[in-house]
């Protein structure tokens, strides 16, 4: 089985690469930058924005795990137009695995709307697919909100809810899907615990013995409310086993 991983330099792409190293799959990887330590994988340059290298990237592959994304820069051109262009090149693909995000149709964020549109494009194509939505990765939440205290304070929207999940566990789940074949949209892959961002910050401070304090802010608008209401979580799908607390313990500073 020949597998292509797009977005091979990203958070999810890197986790996929680490785990595919020991597998029997023939693996091709693609991104614009070349990842360090690619081992025996074949790396191909490709750009979803310009379309350059896409033909070469998808040539002779059976399965694609599409981990390339661009949430902020040129997001529409990459998540939708570039994605559609990629799909148009897949004549003989056996299985296209699309990682998506829990709650995208209920949260008024431009990037999420684009992800939803991409899901629809895939569903309406003739390509055999699996779509699996995950909650936010532990590292993503930590890097976004809990990495840069301001004057010894984490200034955060403390009431928003998170069900963060290990990117390694999600990567393993995606790799397990290769053998299962196309299944359409499947159950969400959520982390084991739903917490507020304030609770996550408290854990970080405790585990790292930090002297930082928490300054929790409220924000106006539907976007903030949707995260406070936990639209980005799924309490029925706690598939991941590694908690945010364990994640912090493993990466202790
Ligand atoms: N982060 C989360 O918490 C989370 C949660 C649930 C689901 N997901 C989903 O998981 C997937 C991967 O997310 P991630 O957090 O791993 O993303 P990421 O760390 O931002 O990585 C994005 C990847 O896309 C590549 N890329 C960016 N622009 C590109 C372009 N124009 N052409 C080709 N490749 C391009 C980047 O490589 P180069 O810059 O080298 O090209 C990089 O390898 C996404 O579908 C995301 O929606 C993420």
pLDDT one-digit tens code per residue, 112-140: 999 999 999 999 999 999 999 999 999 99
Query: What's the gap in Å between 156 CA and the centre of ligand 1?
Result: 24
pLDDT at 39: 85
**Pocket flag, ligand 1, residue 5 (CB < 6 Å):** no
pLDDT at 21: 93
The pLDDT confidence band at residue 101, using thresholds 50, 70 and 90, is very high
Residue 148 and residue 247: Cα distance in Å, rounded?
18
**Pocket flag, ligand 1, residue 33 (CB < 6 Å):** yes
pLDDT at 91: 87
| Residue to probe by mutation, ligand 1, list 6, 15, 31, most atoms within 8 Å of CB | 31
Question: pTM of the entire structure?
Answer: 0.97
DSSP assignment of the chain equals -EEEEESTTSHHHHHHHHHHTTSSSEEEEEESSPPS--TT-EEEE--TTT-TTHHHHHTT-SEEEE----SSTTHHIIIIIIHHHHHHT-SS-SEEEEEEETTTTTS--HHHHHHHHHHHHHHTSSS-EEEEEE--BHHHHHHHHSS--BTTEEEE-TT-EE--B-HHHHHHHHHHHHHH---EE---B--S--EEHHHHHHHHHHHTT---EEEE----SHHHHHHHTTTT--TT-------HHHHHHHT--
**Pocket flag, ligand 1, residue 70 (CB < 6 Å):** yes
Q: Which atom of ligand 1 is nearest to the CA of 140?
A: 3
User: Which residue has tokens 């799908």?
Assistant: 237
The pLDDT confidence band at residue 208, using thresholds 50, 70 and 90, is very high
Query: What's the gap in Å between 12 CA and the centre of ligand 1?
Result: 7
Residue 253 has pLDDT above 70, yes or no: no
CA 98 to mean position of chain CA atoms? 10
């Amino acid at each position: 089985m020949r597998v292509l991983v797009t977005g091979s330099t990203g958070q999810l792409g890197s986790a996929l690469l680490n785990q595919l190293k020991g597998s029997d799959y023939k693996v091709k990887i693609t991104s614009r930058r070349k990842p360090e330590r690619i081992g025996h994988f074949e790396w191909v340059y490709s750009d979803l924005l310009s379309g350059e290298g896409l033909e070469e990237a998808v040539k002779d592959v059976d399965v694609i795990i599409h981990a390339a994304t661009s949430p902020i820069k040129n997001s529409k051109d990459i998540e939708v137009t570039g994605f559609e262009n990629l799909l148009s090149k897949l004549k003989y693909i056996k299985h296209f695995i699309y990682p998506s995000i829990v709650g995208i149709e209920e949260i008024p964020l431009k990037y999420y709307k684009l992800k939803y549109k991409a899901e629809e494009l895939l569903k309406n194509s003739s390509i055999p697919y699996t779509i699996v939505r995950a909650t936010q990765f532990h590292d993503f939440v930590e890097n976004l909100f809990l990495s840069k205290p301001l004057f010894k304070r984490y200034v955060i929207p403390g009431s928003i809810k998170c069900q963060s999940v290990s990117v390694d566990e999600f990567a393993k789940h995606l790799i397990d899907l290769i053998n299962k074949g196309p299944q359409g949209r499947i159950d969400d892959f959520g982390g084991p615990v739903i917490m507020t961002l304030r609770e996550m910050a408290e854990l970080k401070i405790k585990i790292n013995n930090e002297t930082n304090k928490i300054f929790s802010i409220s924000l106006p608008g539907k976007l903030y409310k949707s995260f406070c209401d936990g639209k980005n979580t799924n309490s029925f799908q706690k598939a991941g086993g590694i908690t945010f607390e364990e994640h912090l313990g493993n990466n202790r500073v």
